[in-house]
Structure 1
Amino acid sequence: MADVALPSSPIPAKKKNSRKVLKQKKASTSEANVLAQALTESSPAEILPPPSETDPMKAARGGKQQAAAKQQESFDKELEQMQEMLQKLKLEKEKTEEMLKEKDDMLKAREEELENKGKEQEKLQAELKKLQKLKEFKPNLNFQILKDNEQDDKDKKKKKKGGAEKKRPSQPYILWYKDQWAEMKKENPNADFKEVSVILGAKWKTVSAEEKKPYEEKYQAEKEAYLQVMAKEKRETEAMKLLEDDQKQKTAMELLEQYLQFKHEVEDQGNKKTKKEKDPLKPKQPMSAFFIYSNERRSALVAENKTILEVGGDWQVAKITGEEWKNMTEKKKAPYEEIAKKNKENYLIEMEAYKLKKEEEASHIKKEEEELLKLHKQEAMQLLKKKEKTENIIKKTKEIKQKKKKDQTVDPNKPKKPASSFLLFSKETRKSLMEERPGTNNSTITALISVKWKELSEEERQVWNSKAAEAMDAYKKEMEEYNKSCAAAAGTSA
């Protein structure tokens, strides 16, 4: 588009001695820009103003209005966009706040869980310490029977391996077989074990009863002795079991009391470490030459420097004495080594005496245990006898009761007792009630019968009483006849 020149009025010529001609006002830069923009956007037909609208001021005003309207529209659009953005930001903010709250709740829950776990771990550690302490529980009770039974089992196993003291008796054939083996082997030196046993088996069949008799008698004697021993052992084992059960019941309460007392002491003491008990009679190990020297030198060092124990303690003294001992010659060490040697010899002598004393105590304890075992066996036998007596008494009482029941068998010919007046009334009324009220319980019917019986008058009751009396008279007559027949039968049998 070609630039269009704005119409301007003709400038008058200068006159002498006249006022200065006013210069034409130039359009401002903003107005010029607006006007130029309007001209560029308009078509060529629009550029040429109509002959009536050739005023530049009016054109500038129109351009300003259009620019302001467009600017307002763009501003409104931007405002709407900003509002939408703000709304989105608010929603995002709310979401983030919710997420943060959830995270805070999760963290709090996690912290609470950790605290609870820490408390539980502390409790478990305390309980574990208590249990570890309770493991040290050592009862003062002596389960003598249990120990002896274990020893008896071990002895039995040894006997089985090495052969029992009392063997089962051999059969008569085995006894005869042993006697005949040597002779048969001489007669048949080349025969093996199987052939010899076959020959002896065939020969045993031909042996007479008189020849077999001594072997049979020997077998019977050995069998009786064996059975007596086995019966005695069986009886002793039963008695010991009884005594063991009785002793377990007695010692259980003592053991429980000791355990509860120990548990109470553990709870009071807490986690204090307990030292192992040492035998006061056991001789102490002798000191070495260095320790003898250090004990002797210690007093001198303390006298020389009184603050040595406060500053360095025993460790400082040990360090000094150790260095001195290393630098000492063999001649200076010799007296201390001689003292240590003598102390060691005395210690060995004392230890031998201590061991002998312990062995004597152990043998004495063993003898006491054997005596105690004998007493236990006696007590066990007494308990067994008591048990057998009680069992026999119970058995006899049961037998007596069974005999009484057998003797008390009912004679079918014996007449039965008649029913009472109430029972006679109840039989008849029950039938009528069952017809009137079918499906009712037996208990309700009996209740109704009792109610009706109470409602009866004396005259009505008298009817039932008379029936019962007649039945009783008949029963008495029948019983008299029955007793007479029983007496007659007893007389004939006698």
Structure 2
Amino acid sequence: MGRSRKDSSPQKRKIKDANRPKRSTSAYFYFLHDCREKAKETGAPTAKIGDFTKECSVKWNALTEVDKKPFLARAQTDKERYQKEMEAYTGKIKDVNKPKKPASSYFCFLAEFRIDMKGKNVDHKQMLSLAGEKWRGLNDGDKQKYIELAAIEHKKYEIAMEEYRRTGGKMAKGVNGVAIAPPVVVDEEEEDEEEDDEEEGEED
């Protein structure tokens, strides 16, 4: 007899803190905002939101790195704003030398899924939904690969943390001063948002 699923009862959503700083905006969302503004200026119909977003996604993927540079710069500035505001909000100053927590088996899967979905014109939310659906459909054998990857990442994290503590909080180094390969992590601007998705997509 199988165990009951986590979603057998109504899911409790986190209560949002009105004082929590607004998350940083990604380069793509800055581009999307510009597309909306240009559409308003020209009077061009934006049709359905989903169709409009898909059109913008196609344009974004067609941009060169040079064309994306202004949006990337704006995203970096907003990321720094978010980090400063979060430091003030939490009362903590972020330790940039402290190794980041390693990826779970689900996030190892998600990193691979992102690569497979690249260029398929799927927006962020939809991609996460598709990833969660595919993850839930994997059997234990299929998940074993990601469980093993997560174990490797956890080991790397333990080594990095041991070095971090040994050096009193300095950058973790490996043999002969070579930096230890960092664990697989999700981009910081998406990390908070995807923590909830992991709870929905991953089964214990």
TM-score range, shorter chain: 0.3 to 0.5
Structure with the greater alpha carbon radius of gyration: 1
Length-normalised TM-score, structure 1: 0.16
Which structure is higher in RCO with an 8 Å CA cutoff and minimum separation 6?
A: 2
Length-normalised TM-score, structure 2: 0.37
